[in-house]
A and B are shown apart, each in its own frame.
Chain A
Amino acid sequence: MTLARTLLLTGTAGLGILCLVPLALFLALPENQALFWIGNILARALIYGIIALSLTFLATYGGFVSLAQMMVAGIAGYVLAMTVQGAVPVIIGGFGYPMAILMALLASVLAGLAVGAIAVRTNDIYLLMITLALAVGFYRFVESNIDLFNGYEGIRNVLGPDILGRRFRDPMVFYTIASGTALLLYLGVLFLVRTPFGLALQGIRDNPRRISALGYNVVLHRIVAFGIAGFIAGCGGVLATIYNIGISPGSIGLGATINLLIMSVVGGLGHPVGAFVGSLIFAIFDTFAASLYDRDRFNSLIGAVFLVIVLISPDGALGLSRRLGRLLRGKPKPGAPPA
């Protein structure tokens, strides 16, 4: 199947799911509950799914598990909040949303490139440690520079631009924009991995020594991959800041960084769609933890879910669904000897 055909089919299927789910919710639930699901669960799952997509893109196709992706999203969020007109308190201000969003995305790409350059010689546990150190360092920097970032309270009143006369934060408007962005970025990743750059990135994942001997500059490739992941995380960061009506250090702290890793692993690092599966599972548990068990025990609950999924299926919920599918169809495990 050609790349164009794959993208067309995936795009149509994705669009179908993203349109049908709200429709089904409106048909099955009262309007206020349907809007709650759309605004509080699906939209949130899409936003954090986008940020998790940046991590999954690096991990799946480059073999780099970066813990700095929430930091990169936070940089985009802070640049937006600091520069846009109407945010409280005014740090820089004066820019309309289009320009502020553009600057935020540029900042996230630059931050991604910087993370890539700093971590360029590290792999595996060392890459995890260096990106974790960057994430925690940035969190402390934001927290302690009160004049620049307004400390714990953060920057508020980032409401987003009006879209065709409707508020950006209207659940349906927000959902439409978040789902459109998520779909475009998802298709973008699927497209990118079939380009010369994307194939070489997978070559770096499998064998960096060989790819270098074939004429590729591994260092440059890695840095550019982090820059692209920075753009993806930046899109998520902008949406998250508008969704939360602002940004504070808590949204980029160690807890948020770990949560993003949990979403990616729970969904599965084998395919980019795992990012969205993981973020949806996470959003559902986060929302209904109080009803299921106890709101204060959310971390225990999601920790248990994480443990169960990782123990049963090391490749996350995606791997689990593939196994179940094979079991139901009665097909043997790939590589298993014929009966």
Chain B
Amino acid sequence: MVHALELTDIGRRFGALHAVRNVSLTVPSGQRHAILGPNGAGKTTLFNLVCGDFPPTSGRVVAFGEDMTRRPASHRARIGIGRTYQTSLLFTGLTVIDNLLIAIRGARKGRLSLVPSASNGQDIRDATVLAERVRLAHRAHHEVATLSHGQRRQLELGMALACKPRLLMLDEPAAGLSPAERPELNQMLKDLPGEITLVLIEHDMDVALPISDMVTVMKDGEIVVQETPDRITDNPIVNKIYLGQGHG
């Protein structure tokens, strides 16, 4: 069976800092996989290695059976890896629809086209549907710079979904959201089609656990626990990491 993601002994050093060390992880297709851990555990670095922001100093990254270790970030998007960022990285000078259009066309041929593509009308319809799906239809023609933080997080998700990803990697999608905005995000994540493999970094267990099939906990750049969500909260190592020595 071809897995969505296979990491083998992956590591990354930044000078003397060993941010990620010997991480091996397999995510089967269709699985919802949460990655938890305290600040500085190496979760986002791991994401950046998978998504090609920088190469690993050791190990291999394989996605859908293809070795991605030295491939550029742009190639990963084209084979169906979509991602969001911990801090929203959007095109703030453009409208919501334009952001979604860019995201839709990124994984297709003709993205360098100097004339409006034949699929222009379809692209705009797809972008409009996506804007509705992430509850931004009413802001579709507004500049991103005018959106609230929560709306920016919704747009982040819409852009990650725009390339019709097979593997969706969400880096703290609930970061900075108010309690009132979180249920909407939870619902959007629950509504994701079952065939999309989801890898999620999240501090908020209330967001991560209800939608996860498997949970990996990292600390100091290493995997320390891998469990199903119903058993993770009882794990003494996890309690020690999250609640302190007395709870271990």
Asked whether, in the complex, the Cβ of A210 is within 8 Å of the Cβ of B116, the reply is no
Asked whether, in the complex, the Cβ of A207 is within 8 Å of the Cβ of B89, the reply is yes
Among A206, A209, A218, chain B packs the most CB atoms within 10 A around the CB of A206
A214 touches B (CB below 8 Å): yes
B74 touches A (CB below 8 Å): yes
A-B Cβ contacts below 8 A, count: 98
Given contacts A210-B89, A210-B91, contact A216 B114 (CB under 8 A): no
CB-CB contacts of A209-222 with B at 8 A, as 1s and 0s? Answer: 11111111110110
Closest to B92 in A: A206
What CA separation (Å) do A206 and B93 show in the bound complex?
A: 7
Asked whether, in the complex, the Cβ of B74 is within 8 Å of the Cβ of A216, the reply is yes
Binding stretch for chain A, among B14-22, B99-107, B202-210, B211-219 = B99-107
Closest to B51 in A: A213
Asked whether, in the complex, the Cβ of B105 is within 8 Å of the Cβ of A200, the reply is yes
- Chain A residues contacting B89 (CB-CB under 8 Å) are 207, 209-210
- Chain B residues contacting A207 (CB-CB under 8 Å) are 89-92
B183 touches A (CB below 8 Å): no
Asked whether, in the complex, the Cβ of A195 is within 8 Å of the Cβ of B115, the reply is yes
Binding stretch for chain A, among B4-12, B56-64, B77-85, B222-230 = B77-85
- Chain A residues contacting B108 (CB-CB under 8 Å) are 215
B148 touches A (CB below 8 Å): no
Q: Which of A122-153 contact B (CB under 8 A)?
A: none
Q: Is the interface of A mostly helix, strand, loop or mixed?
A: helix
Asked whether, in the complex, the Cβ of A196 is within 8 Å of the Cβ of B113, the reply is yes
Asked whether, in the complex, the Cβ of B90 is within 8 Å of the Cβ of A220, the reply is no
Q: Which of A148-206 contact B (CB under 8 A)?
A: 192, 194-197, 199-200, 202-203, 205-206
Asked whether, in the complex, the Cβ of B72 is within 8 Å of the Cβ of A212, the reply is yes
Among A3, A200, A209, chain B packs the most CB atoms within 10 A around the CB of A200
Asked whether, in the complex, the Cβ of A221 is within 8 Å of the Cβ of B51, the reply is no
Q: How large is the interface on B (under 10, 10 to 19, 20 to 34, 35 or more residues)?
A: 35 or more
A235 touches B (CB below 8 Å): no
- Chain A residues contacting B159 (CB-CB under 8 Å) are 210, 214
Partner among A196, A199, A202, A206 whose Cβ is within 8 Å of the Cβ of B110: A196
A238 touches B (CB below 8 Å): no
B94 touches A (CB below 8 Å): yes
B163 touches A (CB below 8 Å): yes
A224 touches B (CB below 8 Å): yes
Asked whether, in the complex, the Cβ of A200 is within 8 Å of the Cβ of B111, the reply is yes
CB-CB contacts of B116-132 with A at 8 A, as 1s and 0s? Answer: 11000000000000000
Given contacts A199-B94, A199-B98, A200-B105, contact A215 B77 (CB under 8 A): yes
What CA separation (Å) do A202 and B90 show in the bound complex?
A: 11
What CA separation (Å) do A13 and B234 show in the bound complex?
A: 71
Asked whether, in the complex, the Cβ of A192 is within 8 Å of the Cβ of B114, the reply is yes
Closest to B93 in A: A206
What CA separation (Å) do A217 and B78 show in the bound complex?
A: 11
Nearest-Cβ distance from residue A39 to partner chain B, whole angstroms: 34
Q: Which of B162-208 contact A (CB under 8 A)?
A: 162-163
Given contacts A215-B107, A217-B74, contact A203 B112 (CB under 8 A): no
What CA separation (Å) do A199 and B114 show in the bound complex?
A: 10
Nearest-Cβ distance from residue B162 to partner chain A, whole angstroms: 8
Closest to B159 in A: A214
Partner among A195, A210, A217 whose Cβ is within 8 Å of the Cβ of B90: A210
- Chain A residues contacting B163 (CB-CB under 8 Å) are 214-215
- Chain A residues contacting B53 (CB-CB under 8 Å) are 209, 213
- Inter-chain pairs besides A214-B107, A215-B163, 20 sampled, C-beta below 8 Å: A195-B113, A195-B117, A196-B117, A199-B98, A199-B102, A202-B91, A202-B93, A206-B90, A206-B91, A206-B92, A206-B94, A210-B91, A211-B91, A213-B51, A213-B77, A214-B77, A214-B159, A214-B163, A215-B78, A217-B72
Q: List 23 A-B contacts (CB under 8 A).
A: A3-B116, A195-B115, A195-B117, A196-B112, A199-B94, A199-B98, A199-B101, A200-B106, A206-B91, A206-B92, A207-B90, A210-B89, A213-B51, A213-B52, A213-B76, A214-B106, A214-B162, A214-B163, A215-B106, A215-B108, A216-B74, A216-B102, A217-B74
Interface residues of B (CB under 8 A from A): 51-53, 72-78, 83, 85, 89-94, 98-99, 101-103, 105-108, 110-117, 159, 162-163
Q: Ordered nearest first, which 10 A-B pairs have the shortest CB separation?
A: A214-B106, A215-B106, A215-B77, A206-B91, A210-B89, A215-B107, A196-B113, A212-B73, A203-B91, A203-B102
